[in-house]
Each structure stands twice: as structure tokens, then as C-alpha cells.
Amino acid sequence: MKKYYFLIVLLLIAALPVQARAAQLPADGQYMIEVTLVGGTGRAAVESPAKLTVAGGAAIAAVVWSSPYYEEMQVDGITYHPVHAGGNSTFEIPVEFDEDMKVKAQTVAMSVPHEIDYTLRFDAATLKPSGRNRFPLTLPGAGVVAAILIIVLAGVFGNKKRRRENRNQ
């Protein structure tokens, strides 16, 4: 039985780095995440929670402004344009979780275009599957399920072996 415990501990230790990375970026799929906006005049806002798509190692959020007059957003020096015409300005931008992201947004709501500095923050603790995920169980959750399964199986097979040994005595 001791060799099973050693195997279980070894498997759990091996799974820890995978779980830590998975906490930073969830499995590919569609999510909702709370976002806060700071900066500007205080009149603008963004929808929260925001739609988040994780695919190919990147997290892309749909940032929907409270105004249809935003023409551009700059994130890390890259300029993004609205993804559709009509309605409030919506941009799909790459995001980092739990970090203050400095962005610029150009609005034409005033007489001439103005570039305004904002800070966005996407709170990973609020991340929830949006219902479109094919496999909503993320790697940390899968790791816990696998660990429980291993412990249960080790206990079942260990008990069978012990029962056989007791019968043979």
C-alpha cells in the first residue's frame, strides 16, 4: 500500500506546475469576466462582465464601450478598430488577467478626435464559462478530479490485495 501512496504523491507533484499555468490562462473556450475601467473624464464606461475568448494560448476580450463614438483603441502600441458597425463601439483586444492594462481610446464625441488614457483590469477570480464551452472543466478542476480518482482506485486495489493476503493466512 505504501507504494501506492508514493505513486499518488508523485503524480500530484507532477500535476502542480500544469495546474499553476492553467490558473493563468483557462482552457480554450468562451467565458465571461468582470472588467473595471479607470481614467478619462468618468463619463465613459465599458460593459462588465465582458465576453472573453481563449484560443491558441491567447485571451481576447470584447470591450463594449458605453458610447458609439470610439474609433480606435491602442493596446501595447497596437491599434485596434471596432469589430462591427452600429451600436456602441466594440473592440476585441488581447488581455492579461489581474494586471492594470494601460490603453488609449480615440473618441470623436467632441468637436475633434481626442485620444484618452484609460486603465482596464480583468479580474480572473470572476471568470465563468459562458455556456458555449464544449469542455467547461478547466485543467485545475481536471487535476483535482484525477487526483481523487487515483486515490479511490489505489484504496480499492489496496484493499483487494489486503483481503487476499488475509484469506491466505
Q: Which of 118, 112, 110, 141 is nearest to 27 (CA)?
A: 141
Q: pLDDT tier at 101 (50, 70, 90 boundaries)?
A: very high
Convert the pLDDT of each residue in 20-75 to its tens digit. 333 478 999 999 999 999 998 788 999 999 999 999 999 999 999 999 999 999 99
Q: pLDDT tier at 88 (50, 70, 90 boundaries)?
A: very high
- Across the chain, mean pLDDT equals 79
Q: Report, as an integer, the average pLDDT of 87-94.
A: 96
Q: Quote the pTM value.
A: 0.64
Round to whole Å and give the CA distance between 137 and 56: 17
Q: Report, as an integer, the average pLDDT of 145-157.
A: 58
The pLDDT value recorded for residue 20 is: 38
The pLDDT value recorded for residue 17 is: 46
The pLDDT value recorded for residue 151 is: 64
Q: Report, as an integer, the average pLDDT of 135-145.
A: 51
* DSSP string across 75-98: ETTEEE--SSSSSS-EEEEE--BT
Q: Residue 132 in 3-state DSSP?
A: coil
57, 150 Cβ separation under 8 angstroms: no
What percent of the chain shows pLDDT beyond 70? 64
